Chain A
Amino acid sequence: MRMNNRDERKADKPRFFTAFTISALLHALLFSGSFYMQYLAGLKRPELKTIDVSLVTLPGPGSSKEVAMPVEEPALPEPEPEPPQAKPPVEPDPVEPKPDKKKVVAEKKEPEKKAEKPKRKTPKKQPSDFERTLERLRQEVQKGPPSDLYKRSGPGRFAPGEGEYGAPMSPLERYLVEIVTIIRRNWSFTPQLIRETGEIKTYVALSIEPNGAISDIRLDRRSVSRYFDDTVIKAIEKSSPLPPVPPNVSKKAMRIGLVFTPRGIE
């Protein structure tokens, strides 16, 4: 009879395999069920607007303007600050004769003026270095876009839903945001396949016919990665035809420039 007890325990093994099969089937059922649920959810899900957020550059027209403003203004007076540096030695000359006339007053005034002089010199020297750097940067930036087509698009310019600090977007801006969103949706690339190092930025010019068809796609400036350029071209070709150009934007074919980077479309 003890053998019976052992035999019953030995029966655990086939039972275990049965349980294993049941468990595997349950897992398969769970996976296929969740896959099906995800498929259904994907069918029902409305198309949401894509908002591309960059962790490095702060997108939005506000930031681009804030950078642009100080660049343009100090750039013009730059040659001027240097000539005034020659003036300070001229200014003290009329001050020096004063002590001859009124010694008591001059003694009081001299320390005040001496204190003023360094104040005048330092703010003039510091901006000049700063402005030179800004000027250099500005020139580099100006060198950037190969044509005027790209001046329209600043970083993050095409982020959907963004106006200038809540200001309503113009019909042109709204249309551009719409088409950039479509192109971005059709654009896919694998970052791991980009082996090249260096700045990856592709400048593409394209024409949009009034009916929305894209034509005359031209790479104004290629990036270092040929693969990246190919994905950009494919995305644009895939996006054609775009929605028709609204009559209040343009009644004839319009030509625009887009800058593609791994962060998105600028």
Chain B
Amino acid sequence: MFIPEIGFFSLLADTGPVVLFVLLLLLLFSVVSWAIIIIKAGIIGRATKESRGFLDYFFDVSSIDKVFGETENYRSGSLARVFRAGYIEYRALGDLKDPDEAEERISRAVRREANEEARSLSRYVPFLATVGNTAPFIGLFGTVWGIMNSFMSIGVTQSASLATVAPGIAEALVATAAGLAAAIPAVIAYNHFTQQINSIERDIDDFSGEFIKSFLNEIG
């Protein structure tokens, strides 16, 4: 196979169906993981920023009604959402004056919203870990398959010259390169998002008690 043009795309032109399938799968993985990276970067970034702003407001203002009104400006903030869930439950209590029952109901509503928020933030993120872990192996599979084929072509031509061996190996190595190209951003993004989500969850755990206490103070 004497191809004068040497480059990534000229290598792709001669790939076999299995290597091509592997490359397409890796491309799909890459597209999906970048879509997740784009969407999660926005959601988690906003959640972190607005939660911080909401906390500042919460400690500045003593009236929970005012704070609730302000939550409209922090709709993407995780802490603001948790506070809203607690406030709605507090309003639903009506004339119930038993502080124990009120505390239980409000804390249940806050816990539920906190869980929902954590689930919502970490949705799709495990896919990044899956891509990070499996893409190099999928690429490696394509490489092994391609090298097998190139060795078979050595057997057919009974020639072990570089001209016979090198194109097959180069084609095969494209699969490993594609696997790494898909995996590396996914792993970096996964680690970053996990750290951000853990930070938000810690904030929710820390300040849920403060929210419940502020509602009970209003009742008491």
What is the interface of chain A, defined by CB distance below 8 A to chain B? 1-2, 4-5, 8-9, 12, 15-16, 19-20, 22-24, 26-27, 34-35, 38, 41-42, 52-56, 184-185, 187-192, 194-195, 197-200, 261-264
Bound together, the chains give a CA A192 to CA B165 distance in angstroms of 12
Known contacts A12-B120, A191-B157, A194-B156: does B39 contact A19 (CB below 8 Å)? yes
Supply 21 A–B pairs (Cβ within 8 Å), ascending by A: A12-B39, A12-B43, A12-B120, A15-B39, A16-B124, A19-B39, A20-B35, A24-B31, A52-B163, A54-B162, A56-B160, A185-B2, A188-B2, A189-B1, A191-B1, A191-B153, A192-B156, A194-B156, A198-B158, A262-B164, A263-B164
Residues of A within 8 A of B30 (CB): 27
Bound together, the chains give a CA A22 to CA B37 distance in angstroms of 11
B161 shortest CB reach to chain A, Å = 4
Give the nearest-CB partner of B85 in chain A.
A2
Give the nearest-CB partner of B71 in chain A.
A1
Is B75 located at the chain interface by the 8 A CB criterion? yes
Is B171 located at the chain interface by the 8 A CB criterion? no
Interface-lining segment among B3-11, B59-67, B93-101, B211-219? B3-11
B38 touches A22 (CB 8 A): yes
Residues of A within 8 A of B8 (CB): 34, 38
Assuming A35-B9, A38-B9, what are 11 further A-B pairs, CB within 8 angstroms?
A2-B84, A2-B113, A5-B81, A19-B36, A22-B38, A24-B31, A27-B27, A192-B153, A192-B156, A200-B159, A262-B161
Residues of B within 8 A of A54 (CB): 160-162
What is the interface of chain B, defined by CB distance below 8 A to chain A? 1-5, 7-9, 27, 30-32, 34-39, 42-43, 75-76, 81, 84-85, 87-88, 113, 116, 120, 123-124, 153, 156-165
Residues of A within 8 A of B162 (CB): 52-55
Among B4, B113, B124, B158, contact of A197 (Cβ-Cβ < 8 Å) = B158
B34 touches A27 (CB 8 A): yes
A189 touches B2 (CB 8 A): yes
Among B36, B116, B158, B165, contact of A5 (Cβ-Cβ < 8 Å) = B116
Residues of B within 8 A of A261 (CB): 159
Residues of B within 8 A of A53 (CB): 161-162
Bound together, the chains give a CA A20 to CA B40 distance in angstroms of 12
B145 shortest CB reach to chain A, Å = 15
Residues of A within 8 A of B156 (CB): 191-192, 194-195, 197
A188 touches B31 (CB 8 A): no
Residues of B within 8 A of A38 (CB): 7-9
A22 shortest CB reach to chain B, Å = 6
A22 touches B35 (CB 8 A): yes
Bound together, the chains give a CA A23 to CA B38 distance in angstroms of 8
Residues of B within 8 A of A34 (CB): 8
Among A4, A12, A22, A264, contact of B123 (Cβ-Cβ < 8 Å) = A12
A23 shortest CB reach to chain B, Å = 4
Give the nearest-CB partner of B91 in chain A.
A1
Bound together, the chains give a CA A254 to CA B26 distance in angstroms of 55
B38 touches A1 (CB 8 A): no
Bound together, the chains give a CA A188 to CA B39 distance in angstroms of 48
Give the nearest-CB partner of B153 in chain A.
A191
B158 touches A27 (CB 8 A): no
A11 shortest CB reach to chain B, Å = 10
Give the nearest-CB partner of B89 in chain A.
A2
Bound together, the chains give a CA A199 to CA B159 distance in angstroms of 10
Residues of A within 8 A of B165 (CB): 55
Interface centre among A9, A192, A198, A261 (most CB of B within 10 A): A192
